[in-house]
Structure 1
Amino acid sequence: MHGAGFLHDYGAAAAMVSGSFPCYTNVVITECSEFETKGRAKRGSRMILRNMTRLEIMLMLSLTIPVTLVLLWPQQRWPLMLMIVWLLGLGLNVWVMQRRKHRKHCEYLLKHAQMSAIRTLSHHRHDWMNEMQILYGYLRLNKLDKAVDVMDRIRERMEHDSKISQIGTPELATFLLSFRTVCDAMRLDVKVQDGLTLDRFPYDADKLSRAVMALINVIRFRAVTNLQHDNVLTLSFYELNGGLTLEMSYEGELAAADSVQFELRKCVEGLGDIAVREEPAERPLQERTMVIRFPLQA
Protein backbone atom coordinates (compact mmCIF):
# COMPACT_ATOMS: atom_id res chain seq x y z
CA MET A 1 0.00 0.00 0.00
CA HIS A 2 1.06 3.54 -0.53
CA GLY A 3 2.18 4.61 2.86
CA ALA A 4 1.42 6.76 5.75
CA GLY A 5 1.64 10.04 7.52
CA PHE A 6 -0.15 11.37 10.57
CA LEU A 7 -1.43 14.05 12.80
CA HIS A 8 1.36 14.75 15.11
CA ASP A 9 4.78 16.00 14.14
CA TYR A 10 6.91 13.61 15.96
CA GLY A 11 9.12 16.33 16.77
CA ALA A 12 12.38 16.68 15.33
CA ALA A 13 12.49 13.32 13.67
CA ALA A 14 15.26 14.86 11.70
CA ALA A 15 17.38 12.37 9.90
CA MET A 16 18.30 9.68 7.43
CA VAL A 17 20.01 7.86 4.65
CA SER A 18 23.33 8.95 3.18
CA GLY A 19 25.63 7.92 0.40
CA SER A 20 27.87 5.53 2.29
CA PHE A 21 27.45 3.94 5.70
CA PRO A 22 29.62 1.81 7.98
CA CYS A 23 28.48 -1.74 8.49
CA TYR A 24 27.20 -1.26 12.04
CA THR A 25 26.40 1.64 14.29
CA ASN A 26 27.64 1.68 17.88
CA VAL A 27 25.58 3.68 20.35
CA VAL A 28 27.53 6.16 22.48
CA ILE A 29 25.87 7.83 25.45
CA THR A 30 27.39 11.19 26.38
CA GLU A 31 26.91 13.16 29.56
CA CYS A 32 25.66 16.71 29.43
CA SER A 33 28.13 19.29 30.51
CA GLU A 34 27.28 21.83 33.19
CA PHE A 35 27.05 24.49 30.50
CA GLU A 36 24.51 22.45 28.53
CA THR A 37 22.46 21.83 31.67
CA LYS A 38 22.29 25.53 32.48
CA GLY A 39 21.38 26.32 28.88
CA ARG A 40 18.52 23.82 28.96
CA ALA A 41 17.27 25.29 32.26
CA LYS A 42 17.20 28.79 30.74
CA ARG A 43 15.39 27.54 27.65
CA GLY A 44 12.89 25.75 29.89
CA SER A 45 12.19 28.96 31.84
CA ARG A 46 11.66 30.91 28.63
CA MET A 47 9.32 28.22 27.37
CA ILE A 48 7.22 28.39 30.54
CA LEU A 49 6.87 32.18 30.26
CA ARG A 50 6.03 31.89 26.58
CA ASN A 51 3.23 29.41 27.28
CA MET A 52 1.66 31.58 29.99
CA THR A 53 -1.21 33.85 28.95
CA ARG A 54 -1.19 37.55 29.69
CA LEU A 55 -3.87 37.07 32.35
CA GLU A 56 -1.81 34.40 34.10
CA ILE A 57 1.22 36.68 34.15
CA MET A 58 -0.87 39.52 35.61
CA LEU A 59 -2.20 37.20 38.29
CA MET A 60 1.30 36.14 39.23
CA LEU A 61 2.45 39.77 39.38
CA SER A 62 -0.51 40.61 41.61
CA LEU A 63 1.23 38.65 44.37
CA THR A 64 3.39 41.71 44.90
CA ILE A 65 0.41 43.45 46.56
CA PRO A 66 -0.04 41.11 49.57
CA VAL A 67 3.72 40.60 49.84
CA THR A 68 4.23 44.37 50.03
CA LEU A 69 1.56 44.67 52.72
CA VAL A 70 3.22 41.94 54.78
CA LEU A 71 6.56 43.74 54.52
CA LEU A 72 5.02 47.08 55.50
CA TRP A 73 3.11 45.74 58.52
CA PRO A 74 5.04 42.65 59.67
CA GLN A 75 3.52 42.82 63.15
CA GLN A 76 -0.08 42.77 61.89
CA ARG A 77 -2.00 39.58 61.22
CA TRP A 78 -4.37 40.86 58.58
CA PRO A 79 -1.69 41.26 55.84
CA LEU A 80 -0.63 37.67 56.37
CA MET A 81 -4.25 36.46 56.29
CA LEU A 82 -4.82 38.52 53.14
CA MET A 83 -1.79 36.95 51.47
CA ILE A 84 -3.03 33.44 52.33
CA VAL A 85 -6.48 34.16 50.88
CA TRP A 86 -4.83 35.82 47.87
CA LEU A 87 -2.69 32.75 47.26
CA LEU A 88 -5.69 30.43 47.51
CA GLY A 89 -7.68 32.55 45.08
CA LEU A 90 -4.74 32.83 42.73
CA GLY A 91 -4.17 29.08 42.80
CA LEU A 92 -7.85 28.43 42.08
CA ASN A 93 -7.85 30.83 39.13
CA VAL A 94 -4.69 29.34 37.65
CA TRP A 95 -6.11 25.81 38.06
CA VAL A 96 -9.36 26.79 36.29
CA MET A 97 -7.46 28.43 33.42
CA GLN A 98 -5.13 25.47 33.04
CA ARG A 99 -8.12 23.11 32.93
CA ARG A 100 -9.74 25.27 30.28
CA LYS A 101 -6.53 25.40 28.26
CA HIS A 102 -6.11 21.62 28.53
CA ARG A 103 -9.68 21.05 27.40
CA LYS A 104 -9.19 23.28 24.35
CA HIS A 105 -5.97 21.47 23.52
CA CYS A 106 -7.73 18.10 23.73
CA GLU A 107 -10.53 19.36 21.51
CA TYR A 108 -7.97 20.55 18.98
CA LEU A 109 -6.18 17.18 18.98
CA LEU A 110 -9.50 15.36 18.60
CA LYS A 111 -10.52 17.55 15.69
CA HIS A 112 -7.12 17.10 14.08
CA ALA A 113 -7.37 13.32 14.48
CA GLN A 114 -10.86 13.31 13.00
CA MET A 115 -9.73 15.34 9.99
CA SER A 116 -6.78 13.00 9.48
CA ALA A 117 -9.11 9.99 9.61
CA ILE A 118 -11.45 11.62 7.10
CA ARG A 119 -8.57 12.33 4.70
CA THR A 120 -7.34 8.76 5.02
CA LEU A 121 -10.80 7.31 4.38
CA SER A 122 -11.24 9.64 1.41
CA HIS A 123 -7.99 8.43 -0.17
CA HIS A 124 -8.91 4.80 0.41
CA ARG A 125 -12.40 5.35 -1.01
CA HIS A 126 -10.83 6.92 -4.11
CA ASP A 127 -8.54 3.91 -4.56
CA TRP A 128 -11.37 1.41 -4.13
CA MET A 129 -13.60 3.33 -6.56
CA ASN A 130 -10.84 3.18 -9.18
CA GLU A 131 -10.50 -0.57 -8.74
CA MET A 132 -14.26 -1.07 -8.86
CA GLN A 133 -14.55 0.94 -12.07
CA ILE A 134 -11.80 -1.15 -13.67
CA LEU A 135 -13.52 -4.35 -12.50
CA TYR A 136 -16.88 -3.15 -13.79
CA GLY A 137 -15.35 -2.32 -17.17
CA TYR A 138 -13.81 -5.79 -17.56
CA LEU A 139 -17.09 -7.45 -16.57
CA ARG A 140 -19.02 -5.43 -19.14
CA LEU A 141 -16.47 -6.41 -21.79
CA ASN A 142 -16.80 -10.03 -20.62
CA LYS A 143 -13.04 -10.22 -19.93
CA LEU A 144 -13.35 -12.52 -16.98
CA ASP A 145 -9.63 -13.30 -16.74
CA LYS A 146 -8.84 -9.60 -16.37
CA ALA A 147 -11.64 -9.24 -13.81
CA VAL A 148 -10.14 -12.07 -11.76
CA ASP A 149 -6.78 -10.30 -11.79
CA VAL A 150 -8.41 -7.14 -10.44
CA MET A 151 -10.16 -9.11 -7.69
CA ASP A 152 -6.87 -10.72 -6.70
CA ARG A 153 -5.24 -7.30 -6.55
CA ILE A 154 -8.07 -5.99 -4.35
CA ARG A 155 -7.78 -9.03 -2.06
CA GLU A 156 -4.02 -8.56 -1.73
CA ARG A 157 -4.42 -4.89 -0.82
CA MET A 158 -7.04 -5.73 1.78
CA GLU A 159 -4.74 -8.33 3.34
CA HIS A 160 -1.87 -5.85 3.22
CA ASP A 161 -3.87 -3.16 5.03
CA SER A 162 -5.03 -5.72 7.57
CA LYS A 163 -1.43 -6.65 8.43
CA ILE A 164 -0.52 -3.01 8.97
CA SER A 165 -3.57 -2.35 11.14
CA GLN A 166 -2.58 -5.30 13.34
CA ILE A 167 1.08 -4.34 13.64
CA GLY A 168 0.66 -3.98 17.40
CA THR A 169 0.55 -0.25 18.18
CA PRO A 170 -2.35 1.98 17.02
CA GLU A 171 -0.01 4.96 16.77
CA LEU A 172 2.29 3.33 14.22
CA ALA A 173 -0.59 1.68 12.33
CA THR A 174 -2.36 5.03 11.94
CA PHE A 175 0.87 6.69 10.87
CA LEU A 176 1.57 4.10 8.17
CA LEU A 177 -1.98 3.91 6.84
CA SER A 178 -2.43 7.68 6.61
CA PHE A 179 1.05 8.65 5.40
CA ARG A 180 0.06 9.29 1.82
CA THR A 181 -2.50 11.91 2.89
CA VAL A 182 0.21 14.26 4.21
CA CYS A 183 3.25 13.52 2.04
CA ASP A 184 3.48 14.14 -1.69
CA ALA A 185 7.26 14.05 -2.04
CA MET A 186 7.64 10.34 -1.34
CA ARG A 187 5.71 7.10 -1.61
CA LEU A 188 5.81 4.68 1.29
CA ASP A 189 5.45 0.94 0.67
CA VAL A 190 5.13 -1.27 3.75
CA LYS A 191 5.55 -5.04 3.93
CA VAL A 192 4.75 -6.91 7.14
CA GLN A 193 5.51 -10.57 7.74
CA ASP A 194 2.45 -12.75 8.36
CA GLY A 195 1.45 -12.76 12.02
CA LEU A 196 4.07 -10.19 13.06
CA THR A 197 3.11 -7.72 15.81
CA LEU A 198 5.47 -5.43 17.72
CA ASP A 199 3.96 -6.18 21.13
CA ARG A 200 5.13 -9.79 20.98
CA PHE A 201 8.77 -8.77 21.26
CA PRO A 202 10.40 -8.25 24.68
CA TYR A 203 10.85 -4.48 24.48
CA ASP A 204 8.82 -1.30 24.58
CA ALA A 205 6.58 -1.38 21.51
CA ASP A 206 5.61 2.29 21.86
CA LYS A 207 9.23 3.40 21.98
CA LEU A 208 10.03 1.25 18.98
CA SER A 209 7.05 2.68 17.09
CA ARG A 210 8.26 6.23 17.68
CA ALA A 211 11.72 5.26 16.43
CA VAL A 212 10.25 3.79 13.22
CA MET A 213 8.18 6.93 12.63
CA ALA A 214 11.27 9.06 13.21
CA LEU A 215 13.20 7.04 10.62
CA ILE A 216 10.44 7.50 8.08
CA ASN A 217 10.16 11.21 8.78
CA VAL A 218 13.88 11.66 8.28
CA ILE A 219 13.57 10.37 4.74
CA ARG A 220 10.31 12.24 4.25
CA PHE A 221 11.82 15.60 5.16
CA ARG A 222 14.92 14.97 3.03
CA ALA A 223 13.12 13.66 -0.07
CA VAL A 224 13.49 15.95 -3.10
CA THR A 225 10.52 16.01 -5.46
CA ASN A 226 11.44 14.80 -8.93
CA LEU A 227 9.02 15.04 -11.84
CA GLN A 228 10.76 12.28 -13.80
CA HIS A 229 10.44 9.50 -11.22
CA ASP A 230 8.90 8.83 -7.82
CA ASN A 231 10.80 8.75 -4.56
CA VAL A 232 9.96 5.42 -2.94
CA LEU A 233 10.73 4.22 0.57
CA THR A 234 10.05 0.54 1.15
CA LEU A 235 9.80 -0.85 4.69
CA SER A 236 9.87 -4.57 5.41
CA PHE A 237 9.12 -5.82 8.94
CA TYR A 238 10.07 -9.42 9.70
CA GLU A 239 11.28 -11.61 12.52
CA LEU A 240 14.83 -12.98 12.43
CA ASN A 241 16.52 -15.04 15.14
CA GLY A 242 13.92 -14.08 17.72
CA GLY A 243 14.31 -10.34 17.13
CA LEU A 244 12.64 -7.75 14.94
CA THR A 245 14.35 -6.71 11.71
CA LEU A 246 13.34 -3.62 9.76
CA GLU A 247 14.66 -3.35 6.22
CA MET A 248 14.49 0.09 4.63
CA SER A 249 15.13 0.57 0.94
CA TYR A 250 15.02 4.05 -0.54
CA GLU A 251 15.03 4.93 -4.22
CA GLY A 252 15.12 8.60 -5.11
CA GLU A 253 16.84 11.86 -4.31
CA LEU A 254 17.70 13.23 -0.88
CA ALA A 255 18.69 16.70 0.24
CA ALA A 256 21.80 17.05 2.43
CA ALA A 257 22.51 13.35 2.11
CA ASP A 258 25.92 13.66 3.77
CA SER A 259 24.37 14.33 7.19
CA VAL A 260 21.73 11.63 6.96
CA GLN A 261 23.95 8.93 8.42
CA PHE A 262 24.31 10.79 11.70
CA GLU A 263 20.58 11.46 11.97
CA LEU A 264 19.74 7.85 11.20
CA ARG A 265 21.87 6.70 14.12
CA LYS A 266 20.15 9.14 16.45
CA CYS A 267 16.73 7.71 15.58
CA VAL A 268 17.61 4.22 16.84
CA GLU A 269 20.12 5.20 19.49
CA GLY A 270 19.99 2.64 22.27
CA LEU A 271 17.41 0.54 20.42
CA GLY A 272 18.99 -1.24 17.49
CA ASP A 273 21.92 -1.86 15.16
CA ILE A 274 22.08 -0.39 11.67
CA ALA A 275 23.76 -2.11 8.76
CA VAL A 276 23.96 -1.14 5.10
CA ARG A 277 23.82 -3.78 2.43
CA GLU A 278 26.36 -4.04 -0.30
CA GLU A 279 24.76 -2.60 -3.41
CA PRO A 280 25.65 -3.17 -7.06
CA ALA A 281 28.19 -0.64 -8.30
CA GLU A 282 25.82 0.64 -10.97
CA ARG A 283 23.20 1.63 -8.40
CA PRO A 284 23.16 5.39 -7.59
CA LEU A 285 24.69 6.37 -4.25
CA GLN A 286 21.43 7.93 -3.10
CA GLU A 287 19.68 4.57 -3.35
CA ARG A 288 20.57 2.36 -0.44
CA THR A 289 19.14 -0.54 1.53
CA MET A 290 19.50 -0.35 5.31
CA VAL A 291 18.85 -3.17 7.76
CA ILE A 292 17.95 -2.25 11.34
CA ARG A 293 17.89 -5.02 13.93
CA PHE A 294 16.10 -4.76 17.28
CA PRO A 295 16.91 -5.00 20.09
CA LEU A 296 20.43 -3.57 20.38
CA GLN A 297 22.98 -6.34 20.52
CA ALA A 298 25.10 -6.53 23.70
Structure 2
Amino acid sequence: MTNDVVDVPGAGPVHRIGFGAMQLAGPGVFGPPGDRDRAARVLRRAAELGIDHIDTSDFYGPWVVNELIAEVLRPYPQNLLLATKIGAYRDHRGGWPPLVHPDALRAQVHDNLRRLHLEALDLVYLRHSAEQPGIPWEDQVGALAELREAGLVRSIGLSNVDLAQFEQARAIAPISAVQNSYNVVDRAAADLLDRTAALGVPFVPFFPLGSAFQPNSRALGDQVVRGVAERLGVVPAQVSLAWLLHRAPNTLLIPGTSSIEHLESNCAADQVKLGEADVQELDDLVAEGTTAERPL
Protein backbone atom coordinates (compact mmCIF):
# COMPACT_ATOMS: atom_id res chain seq x y z
CA MET A 1 0.00 0.00 0.00
CA THR A 2 1.05 3.62 -0.50
CA ASN A 3 1.47 6.14 2.29
CA ASP A 4 -1.74 7.92 1.26
CA VAL A 5 -3.75 8.51 4.45
CA VAL A 6 -6.94 10.21 5.60
CA ASP A 7 -7.43 11.62 9.09
CA VAL A 8 -10.39 10.39 11.13
CA PRO A 9 -11.09 13.23 13.57
CA GLY A 10 -10.64 12.03 17.12
CA ALA A 11 -9.18 8.69 16.07
CA GLY A 12 -6.17 9.61 13.93
CA PRO A 13 -4.83 9.01 10.40
CA VAL A 14 -5.30 5.70 8.58
CA HIS A 15 -4.33 4.36 5.19
CA ARG A 16 -7.09 4.60 2.63
CA ILE A 17 -7.45 0.82 2.21
CA GLY A 18 -8.50 -1.02 5.34
CA PHE A 19 -10.29 -4.28 6.01
CA GLY A 20 -13.94 -5.12 6.62
CA ALA A 21 -14.13 -8.09 8.98
CA MET A 22 -17.77 -9.00 8.34
CA GLN A 23 -16.99 -11.99 6.12
CA LEU A 24 -14.95 -13.68 8.84
CA ALA A 25 -18.23 -14.88 10.37
CA GLY A 26 -20.23 -17.80 8.98
CA PRO A 27 -22.55 -17.73 5.94
CA GLY A 28 -24.91 -14.77 6.02
CA VAL A 29 -22.63 -13.17 8.65
CA PHE A 30 -24.23 -15.60 11.11
CA GLY A 31 -22.48 -18.11 13.32
CA PRO A 32 -18.79 -19.02 13.49
CA PRO A 33 -16.54 -19.29 10.42
CA GLY A 34 -16.34 -22.67 8.79
CA ASP A 35 -12.55 -22.58 9.22
CA ARG A 36 -11.55 -20.54 12.27
CA ASP A 37 -7.82 -21.01 11.64
CA ARG A 38 -8.20 -19.65 8.12
CA ALA A 39 -10.09 -16.61 9.43
CA ALA A 40 -7.33 -16.03 11.98
CA ARG A 41 -4.70 -16.21 9.25
CA VAL A 42 -6.53 -13.53 7.26
CA LEU A 43 -6.41 -11.19 10.26
CA ARG A 44 -2.73 -11.87 10.84
CA ARG A 45 -1.96 -11.23 7.17
CA ALA A 46 -3.90 -7.96 7.32
CA ALA A 47 -1.63 -6.83 10.15
CA GLU A 48 1.46 -7.93 8.21
CA LEU A 49 0.34 -5.89 5.20
CA GLY A 50 0.18 -2.77 7.36
CA ILE A 51 -3.60 -2.44 7.44
CA ASP A 52 -4.38 0.03 10.21
CA HIS A 53 -8.18 0.30 9.90
CA ILE A 54 -10.42 -2.68 10.64
CA ASP A 55 -14.20 -2.43 10.55
CA THR A 56 -16.16 -4.80 12.77
CA SER A 57 -19.28 -5.10 14.94
CA ASP A 58 -20.60 -7.13 17.83
CA PHE A 59 -23.53 -8.18 15.63
CA TYR A 60 -21.25 -9.92 13.15
CA GLY A 61 -21.79 -13.51 14.10
CA PRO A 62 -23.03 -12.18 16.54
CA TRP A 63 -19.96 -11.70 18.76
CA VAL A 64 -17.83 -14.12 16.75
CA VAL A 65 -15.81 -11.56 14.78
CA ASN A 66 -15.04 -9.26 17.72
CA GLU A 67 -13.91 -12.20 19.80
CA LEU A 68 -11.70 -13.44 16.96
CA ILE A 69 -10.13 -10.00 16.48
CA ALA A 70 -9.30 -9.78 20.17
CA GLU A 71 -7.90 -13.31 20.22
CA VAL A 72 -5.68 -12.86 17.17
CA LEU A 73 -4.54 -9.24 17.22
CA ARG A 74 -4.00 -8.39 20.88
CA PRO A 75 -1.91 -6.67 21.97
CA TYR A 76 -3.20 -4.32 19.30
CA PRO A 77 -0.71 -2.32 17.20
CA GLN A 78 -0.57 1.23 18.50
CA ASN A 79 -1.70 2.71 15.17
CA LEU A 80 -4.64 0.34 14.63
CA LEU A 81 -8.08 1.96 14.36
CA LEU A 82 -10.86 -0.44 15.27
CA ALA A 83 -14.26 0.78 14.10
CA THR A 84 -17.45 -0.88 15.25
CA LYS A 85 -21.19 -0.42 14.73
CA ILE A 86 -24.19 -0.34 17.05
CA GLY A 87 -27.92 0.04 16.54
CA ALA A 88 -29.00 -3.52 15.68
CA TYR A 89 -28.96 -7.09 16.91
CA ARG A 90 -29.25 -10.53 15.33
CA ASP A 91 -32.45 -12.49 15.81
CA HIS A 92 -32.69 -16.29 15.76
CA ARG A 93 -33.32 -16.25 11.98
CA GLY A 94 -30.19 -14.22 11.30
CA GLY A 95 -32.12 -10.98 10.75
CA TRP A 96 -30.88 -7.49 11.67
CA PRO A 97 -33.67 -5.81 13.70
CA PRO A 98 -32.94 -2.30 14.99
CA LEU A 99 -32.00 -1.82 18.64
CA VAL A 100 -31.71 1.92 19.18
CA HIS A 101 -33.09 2.86 22.60
CA PRO A 102 -30.42 5.05 24.25
CA ASP A 103 -30.01 2.50 27.05
CA ALA A 104 -29.54 -0.26 24.48
CA LEU A 105 -26.98 1.80 22.58
CA ARG A 106 -25.00 2.35 25.76
CA ALA A 107 -25.12 -1.37 26.51
CA GLN A 108 -23.89 -2.19 23.00
CA VAL A 109 -20.88 0.10 23.45
CA HIS A 110 -20.01 -1.65 26.71
CA ASP A 111 -20.45 -5.05 25.01
CA ASN A 112 -18.04 -4.04 22.23
CA LEU A 113 -15.55 -2.75 24.79
CA ARG A 114 -15.68 -6.02 26.70
CA ARG A 115 -15.33 -8.36 23.72
CA LEU A 116 -12.61 -6.31 22.06
CA HIS A 117 -10.83 -5.85 25.41
CA LEU A 118 -10.61 -2.08 25.05
CA GLU A 119 -11.01 0.82 27.45
CA ALA A 120 -12.30 3.11 24.70
CA LEU A 121 -13.57 2.52 21.16
CA ASP A 122 -11.79 4.45 18.41
CA LEU A 123 -14.82 4.91 16.16
CA VAL A 124 -18.42 3.86 16.73
CA TYR A 125 -20.97 4.01 13.90
CA LEU A 126 -24.62 4.51 14.78
CA ARG A 127 -26.54 2.38 12.30
CA HIS A 128 -29.77 3.96 11.09
CA SER A 129 -32.62 1.70 10.07
CA ALA A 130 -35.75 2.52 8.10
CA GLU A 131 -37.60 0.41 10.68
CA GLN A 132 -36.87 2.69 13.64
CA PRO A 133 -39.14 1.85 16.63
CA GLY A 134 -40.29 5.42 17.28
CA ILE A 135 -37.16 6.65 19.07
CA PRO A 136 -36.06 10.11 17.89
CA TRP A 137 -32.84 10.21 15.89
CA GLU A 138 -31.65 13.07 18.07
CA ASP A 139 -31.92 10.86 21.19
CA GLN A 140 -29.89 8.12 19.55
CA VAL A 141 -27.10 10.48 18.50
CA GLY A 142 -27.28 12.13 21.91
CA ALA A 143 -26.57 8.81 23.62
CA LEU A 144 -23.35 8.44 21.62
CA ALA A 145 -22.43 12.03 22.34
CA GLU A 146 -22.70 11.29 26.08
CA LEU A 147 -20.47 8.23 25.69
CA ARG A 148 -17.95 10.36 23.83
CA GLU A 149 -17.96 12.92 26.64
CA ALA A 150 -17.43 10.06 29.12
CA GLY A 151 -14.33 8.93 27.22
CA LEU A 152 -15.70 5.54 26.16
CA VAL A 153 -15.93 6.55 22.50
CA ARG A 154 -13.23 8.60 20.79
CA SER A 155 -15.17 9.46 17.64
CA ILE A 156 -18.72 9.07 16.33
CA GLY A 157 -19.70 7.78 12.92
CA LEU A 158 -23.02 7.30 11.15
CA SER A 159 -24.06 4.39 8.96
CA ASN A 160 -26.87 4.01 6.44
CA VAL A 161 -27.99 7.63 6.73
CA ASP A 162 -29.23 10.26 4.31
CA LEU A 163 -28.03 13.84 4.01
CA ALA A 164 -30.71 15.26 6.32
CA GLN A 165 -29.89 12.74 9.08
CA PHE A 166 -26.20 13.55 8.71
CA GLU A 167 -26.87 17.27 9.15
CA GLN A 168 -29.17 16.65 12.13
CA ALA A 169 -26.47 14.58 13.81
CA ARG A 170 -23.78 17.20 13.13
CA ALA A 171 -25.88 19.71 15.09
CA ILE A 172 -25.63 17.44 18.16
CA ALA A 173 -22.06 16.14 18.09
CA PRO A 174 -18.97 16.11 15.85
CA ILE A 175 -19.31 13.39 13.22
CA SER A 176 -15.99 11.83 12.28
CA ALA A 177 -17.04 9.43 9.51
CA VAL A 178 -20.00 8.23 7.45
CA GLN A 179 -20.43 4.66 6.24
CA ASN A 180 -22.99 4.15 3.47
CA SER A 181 -23.41 1.81 0.56
CA TYR A 182 -21.55 3.19 -2.44
CA ASN A 183 -19.66 1.63 -5.34
CA VAL A 184 -19.18 1.92 -9.06
CA VAL A 185 -22.74 0.71 -9.80
CA ASP A 186 -24.48 2.03 -6.66
CA ARG A 187 -24.24 5.80 -6.33
CA ALA A 188 -27.44 6.55 -4.47
CA ALA A 189 -25.44 8.27 -1.70
CA ALA A 190 -23.56 10.63 -4.08
CA ASP A 191 -24.96 13.77 -2.46
CA LEU A 192 -23.80 12.64 0.97
CA LEU A 193 -20.37 11.68 -0.36
CA ASP A 194 -19.97 15.13 -1.91
CA ARG A 195 -21.07 16.84 1.31
CA THR A 196 -18.63 14.86 3.46
CA ALA A 197 -15.84 15.58 0.97
CA ALA A 198 -16.55 19.30 1.23
CA LEU A 199 -16.39 19.07 5.03
CA GLY A 200 -13.34 16.81 5.14
CA VAL A 201 -15.29 14.02 6.84
CA PRO A 202 -14.16 10.51 5.86
CA PHE A 203 -16.66 8.54 3.79
CA VAL A 204 -16.41 4.75 4.11
CA PRO A 205 -18.34 2.88 1.40
CA PHE A 206 -19.72 -0.40 2.67
CA PHE A 207 -20.12 -3.06 -0.01
CA PRO A 208 -17.41 -1.30 -2.07
CA LEU A 209 -17.40 -4.31 -4.40
CA GLY A 210 -21.14 -4.91 -4.33
CA SER A 211 -22.96 -7.51 -2.28
CA ALA A 212 -25.20 -10.53 -2.52
CA PHE A 213 -27.49 -8.59 -0.15
CA GLN A 214 -27.97 -6.00 -2.93
CA PRO A 215 -28.71 -7.73 -6.26
CA ASN A 216 -28.32 -4.52 -8.30
CA SER A 217 -24.94 -3.75 -6.77
CA ARG A 218 -22.76 -6.50 -8.22
CA ALA A 219 -19.87 -4.26 -9.17
CA LEU A 220 -17.53 -7.11 -10.04
CA GLY A 221 -19.85 -8.55 -12.66
CA ASP A 222 -20.38 -5.38 -14.66
CA GLN A 223 -19.17 -5.69 -18.23
CA VAL A 224 -17.63 -2.21 -18.21
CA VAL A 225 -15.64 -2.95 -15.04
CA ARG A 226 -14.49 -6.24 -16.51
CA GLY A 227 -13.45 -4.54 -19.76
CA VAL A 228 -11.34 -1.91 -17.97
CA ALA A 229 -9.73 -4.61 -15.82
CA GLU A 230 -8.83 -6.65 -18.90
CA ARG A 231 -7.22 -3.64 -20.59
CA LEU A 232 -5.16 -2.84 -17.50
CA GLY A 233 -4.22 -6.44 -16.74
CA VAL A 234 -5.76 -6.39 -13.28
CA VAL A 235 -8.82 -7.94 -11.66
CA PRO A 236 -12.27 -6.25 -11.57
CA ALA A 237 -12.12 -5.78 -7.78
CA GLN A 238 -9.00 -3.67 -8.13
CA VAL A 239 -10.65 -1.49 -10.78
CA SER A 240 -13.71 -0.93 -8.58
CA LEU A 241 -11.57 -0.01 -5.57
CA ALA A 242 -9.28 2.22 -7.61
CA TRP A 243 -12.31 4.10 -8.94
CA LEU A 244 -13.55 4.70 -5.39
CA LEU A 245 -10.17 6.06 -4.37
CA HIS A 246 -10.27 8.36 -7.39
CA ARG A 247 -13.89 9.41 -6.81
CA ALA A 248 -13.18 11.60 -3.77
CA PRO A 249 -10.16 12.32 -1.56
CA ASN A 250 -12.03 11.43 1.64
CA THR A 251 -12.95 7.83 0.75
CA LEU A 252 -11.66 5.11 3.06
CA LEU A 253 -12.16 1.59 1.77
CA ILE A 254 -12.93 -1.52 3.81
CA PRO A 255 -13.25 -4.40 1.32
CA GLY A 256 -14.04 -7.58 3.18
CA THR A 257 -12.90 -11.11 2.43
CA SER A 258 -12.15 -14.42 4.09
CA SER A 259 -9.37 -15.12 1.56
CA ILE A 260 -5.72 -14.11 1.97
CA GLU A 261 -5.36 -14.00 -1.82
CA HIS A 262 -8.24 -11.53 -2.17
CA LEU A 263 -6.97 -9.53 0.80
CA GLU A 264 -3.57 -9.07 -0.83
CA SER A 265 -5.17 -8.20 -4.17
CA ASN A 266 -7.44 -5.60 -2.56
CA CYS A 267 -4.51 -3.99 -0.76
CA ALA A 268 -2.76 -3.52 -4.11
CA ALA A 269 -5.68 -1.60 -5.61
CA ASP A 270 -4.07 1.74 -4.85
CA GLN A 271 -1.30 0.76 -7.29
CA VAL A 272 -3.78 0.57 -10.18
CA LYS A 273 -3.44 3.58 -12.47
CA LEU A 274 -6.72 4.44 -14.12
CA GLY A 275 -6.31 6.53 -17.26
CA GLU A 276 -8.63 9.41 -18.12
CA ALA A 277 -10.53 7.22 -20.57
CA ASP A 278 -10.91 4.48 -17.95
CA VAL A 279 -12.26 6.93 -15.38
CA GLN A 280 -14.67 8.45 -17.88
CA GLU A 281 -15.99 5.05 -18.90
CA LEU A 282 -16.56 4.09 -15.26
CA ASP A 283 -18.06 7.49 -14.42
CA ASP A 284 -20.55 7.10 -17.26
CA LEU A 285 -21.60 3.64 -16.15
CA VAL A 286 -24.21 4.89 -13.65
CA ALA A 287 -25.65 8.36 -13.08
CA GLU A 288 -24.78 9.95 -9.74
CA GLY A 289 -27.57 9.48 -7.21
CA THR A 290 -28.78 6.20 -8.73
CA THR A 291 -28.18 2.45 -8.58
CA ALA A 292 -27.69 0.31 -11.68
CA GLU A 293 -30.88 -1.41 -12.82
CA ARG A 294 -29.65 -2.78 -16.11
CA PRO A 295 -28.50 -6.40 -16.44
CA LEU A 296 -24.88 -6.86 -15.38
Please report the TM-score for the alignment, with normalisation by the length of structure 1.
0.20
